[in-house]
């Protein structure tokens, strides 16, 4: 499957992000950021479905939780940064 990873600056920030998305009806899972994309060592991210990115970004901006970075995780496990 294809997912988007919303990179957050801390575990707390990732948990807040997931909670805000959940309240808006968008499921997200808090995960450790993959080492391939984590520039600062141990980061956290929220993984959401491919079809929910636009809605998720709108909700997060409205709540003042703009993402640090967003990556597309393709079906073959490759990551590419998305300009959000």
So where are the chain's domains? Answer: 3-82
Write down the pLDDT at residue 83. 83
Q: What's the pTM value of the predicted model, to 2 decimals?
A: 0.89
CB under 8 Å to 6, separation ≥6 — which residues? 17, 28, 45, 46, 47, 48, 56, 60, 67, 70
Write down the pLDDT at residue 72. 95
Write out pLDDT tens, residues 38-77. 766 668 999 999 999 999 999 999 999 988 899 999 989 8
Write down the pLDDT at residue 17. 97
CATH of the domain spanning 3-82, picked from 3.20.19.10, 3.30.70.1530, 3.10.20.30, 3.30.70.1560: 3.30.70.1530
């Amino acid at each position: 499957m294809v997912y988007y990873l919303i990179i957050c600056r801390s575990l707390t920030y990732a948990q807040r992000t997931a909670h805000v998305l959940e309240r808006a009806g968008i499921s997200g899972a808090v995960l450790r950021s993959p080492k391939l994309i984590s520039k600062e060592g141990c980061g956290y991210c929220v993984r959401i479905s491919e079809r929910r990115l636009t809605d998720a970004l709108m909700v997060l901006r409205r709540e003042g939780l703009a993402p640090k970075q967003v990556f597309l995780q393709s079906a073959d496990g490759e990551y590419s940064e998305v300009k959000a």
